[in-house]
Structure 1
Amino acid sequence: MLEPENEKRDRRDLADSLKQLRKAAGLSGERLAARAAMSQSKISRIESGRVLPSVADVERIMQALDVPADAQLDILTAARSANVDYVSARSAARLGIWRRQAEIKALCEASTTVRHFLPVIPSGLIQAAEYARSVLTPVIEGDTARDVDRAVKARMEAQEVLDDESRTFRFLLTEQAVRLKQAPASVMVKQLRHMAAVSERPNVDLAILPHTAPITSPPLNIFVIYDERLATVEMFSGTVALRDYRDISYHLNVFDYFRERAVSENDARRLLNSVADEFMRGPD
């Protein structure tokens, strides 16, 4: 399901199915557009495969076509499948990790609120350059090769989106993500101080889930939510993009669950500076 060729086939099949349903209902594209409260051009782009409809779009189209509930299941399943993308780490490395940083910047620029859930590592948007270099340098056998210099440069350039105060950025880290020594102690100190400084920005909410917080659900994956239209979930092997509104709603609930148990503002800065002091006292 997640291979590129299968993704393309899923999208083609969905477009063809919606077109056939419209024809079977004896409706023109204009008539369907009116019933579904969509533009005729959007209906045309969906049926030609040029635009991927959201699950909500497909539900509206099927309601407009009076498709029986039992006949909707397969189409909705196809829509949910088509609204999941997977990009492997190897594919991203072949294209250039720096390109991914440019994509992240573009996604942020197209969003009003961006939420980052970070159980194991700070977001690239709040990484100091030396720390970014450390975490972007391959160290595990099987890690994909990459142009580290270019990737670090692109990551620093992506951080320019934080300067736009019309956008809100919410970073939610676990204490593990703060304490995990992913670079030499001197670099960790700079990284922690950098995050404390970033948290002072008026458009940034940086919160930390302390080890002492009572939780009954484990913080499993890194994910980012762009407004309420897209969620990306990171794994060792790659990134999954979710567009089904139910998946996005669930991830928003997960974010809120942990955010309610986190510390922020001065409390978060005190924790960051306290951990930085510990790194300063310890061996490099």
Structure 2
Amino acid sequence: MIPSLPDVLILPIVRAALAEDLGRAGDVTAAACIPEAARMRAVFAARKPGVLAGIDCARLAVLEMDPKASIDLRMRDGDAFEAGAVLAEVEAEARAFLSAERTALNLLGRLCGIATLTRDYVQAVAGTGARIADTRKTTPGLRALEKHAVRCGGGINHRFGLDGAILIKDNHIAVCGGVEAAVRAARAHVGHLMKVEVEVDGLEQLNVALGMVAAGEGPDVVMLDNFDLARLAEAVRRTRDGGHRLVLEASGGVNLSTVRAIAETGVDVISVGALTHSASVLDIGLDAV
């Protein structure tokens, strides 16, 4: 079971989304058409198969509008479901429930889409030993939720933000004057608990990083950026034959058609920006019962 995110992390996002939708005057349609005392019961139901993520967003959206609502969660984040599956059943004040509907569905559909796409990538590399990781290419303001959705789909999280780890990329290297200078500067700046990763764009730069590792001053992780399959396999060979304890991460040019071949080169991690920047919203509906 995937641990749920604490409500305290979800609530500010849900409240901001509700406030955006309610606008300046609230739900004028519900106020005009629905009797004040009316109640309704409905289910969140899947229109397509997928993996659940974000059910607590739906729960909190309803409770923010009707704190006395009754919510029966039929599934939990990380559960796989088929089309037609009931994800949750709710009984609440009709006006409040209808006002929460779109916020609940927007977040639920977005996060289920990410979890489902992640599951597809994880299944594509099954048996290779490679792990699928996300990136920081997330929707502003939704990173905690979207990275949670990746975990629901069986993926792992890369660094959460700029403060999570040192990641030396091509522009850092250009300004510093090379891989060696950049890594040494990073090592001198941080403590023993901070991981250091460096991006390399070719085998020559990899050799520099491997030499530093052999000397006990290199990075913890090397990102192999836009390497073709032959160079990925050679990078793995050089690293393993040298006995280096180093995580190799493949990045760039990754999609569902290419990810299996990339994994079979022997890399440890494959980072996929598409998990969060290109996932389609999964079709979830709210049906009155």
Shorter-normalised TM-score: what interval? Answer: under 0.3
TM-score (norm 1): 0.27
Structure with higher helix content: 1
Is the radius of gyration larger for structure 1 or structure 2? Answer: 2
